[in-house]
Amino acid sequence: MNPGQRMAQRKRTHIRLADEQAAASRSNDFDLVSLVRPALPETRVNQRVLLTDFFGAPVSAPFFINAMTGGTNEATAINGALCRVARKTGIAMAFGSADIVSKDFSRLDGFLQARAENPDGPVLVNVNPTTPVESVRLLVDRLKPVALQIHVNAVQEAVMPEGDRDFRWMDGIKRLRQAMPVPVVVKEVGFGFDVASIGMLAQAGVDAVDVSGKGGTDFAAIENARSLAAGGADFSYLQGIGASTVQSLLNARLVTQLMRGRGSTSRMAHGADEQEATMPIVIASGGVRNPLDVLKCLAMGARWVGVSGRFLHILLSDGEEALERAIESWKSQLAMLLALYGAKRLPAAARIDWTLEPRLESYLRQMRALCGLE
């Protein structure tokens, strides 16, 4: 098998295993968050309240299709379908990693082909921190994204038999941040973000952090299945590693508090001078299963909410029109939920009160203590 065929096989397996995971809608930390519902919300349902922007571009809802695939014929077909769905429903979408274009220029065609299905809608281009600046410039120039996503995926790489063993990525992130004409989002791939790393990204002037936490697609499990099938080591003990999306959102709130100067900042950004940093926009993804999860993310401080596994599963099992219908239905339901929880406008979602079940309450207490915020 040549490297191209190996990559195609890897992507195919990722999609199949992620689809299987998403088919089994599991409980996750969103179930440990309750929004406080007013019995007298004094609102009425109005879908227009969802109209917002995505990095400055108009969109019909604050949730988007998050990064999944790219670079093979099968990936191009999936991205083409996702682009059409995004265009018809008016939401944003992210391509999966386009790092392959830096190694094989001909792979750009598949991304351009998919982009042609939604030439004017807001899209994100996704690379890794070591993708060469020149290749990323080319991708941004040709695909015209509203922002660039840089994924950080240490756990996935660790479990992948052929994965990267060098996790020094901050220099690459800073280089890309400085060279790019568009905002830069740094995202996880389902293992979440801790306080110190969000602080480091704030310090580096990164525009947004997509916490992409634990609770949905689990790449430790996916890569472990591949590793075992290839006779590699068994990393099943790493399943469930990382911070959940809810825990990561709590961590982001702690960074905001630390940056406002309350409490000690010694544990943040490895002692860097955090005075000049501004808090990046917070994007939530990882285990978002329904419109209530979206609303919980917004209430906990996320500006936008990304969905991968759930939407992929609908696309693969029921087709493009079913995904389009599902997204329209999520929009109606989210508008209804906003009214139900007393939010007359989208920004008011961030003011909905919430409570945490004891396990998360304990996590927050311990993180506050670790951050010197007690």
| Interface with ligand FNR (CB under 6 A) | 14-15, 18, 66-69, 96-97, 126, 149, 151, 187, 189-190, 212, 216-217, 285-288, 307-310, 312
List 307's β-bridge partners, or say none.
Answer: 65
Residues in the chain: 374
Q: Please report how close the Cβ of residue 310 comes to ligand FNR at its closest, in angstroms.
A: 6
C-alpha 111/C-alpha 347 separation (Å) is: 33
Q: Please report how close the Cβ of residue 314 comes to ligand FNR at its closest, in angstroms.
A: 12
Report the residue number, 10 or 368, with the smaller CB distance to ligand FNR.
Answer: 10
Report the residue number, 151 or 303, with the smaller CB distance to ligand FNR.
Answer: 151
Report the residue number, 184 or 258, with the smaller CB distance to ligand FNR.
Answer: 184
C-alpha 48/C-alpha 372 separation (Å) is: 42
C-alpha 4/C-alpha 350 separation (Å) is: 45
Residue nearest to ligand FNR (CB): 216
Report the residue number, 15 or 198, with the smaller CB distance to ligand FNR.
Answer: 15
Beta pairing, strands 33-35 & 354-356:
antiparallel
Q: Please report how close the Cβ of residue 313 comes to ligand FNR at its closest, in angstroms.
A: 9
Report the residue number, 265 or 308, with the smaller CB distance to ligand FNR.
Answer: 308
- Rounded to 5°, the CA angle 256-258-263 comes to 150
Q: Please report how close the Cβ of residue 15 comes to ligand FNR at its closest, in angstroms.
A: 5
Around Cβ 123, how many Cβ atoms within 10 Å? 28
Q: Please report how close the Cβ of residue 270 comes to ligand FNR at its closest, in angstroms.
A: 24
For the chain, where are the E strands, in sequence order?
Answer: 33-35, 52-54, 57-59, 63-65, 93-97, 123-127, 147-151, 184-187, 208-210, 281-285, 304-307, 354-356
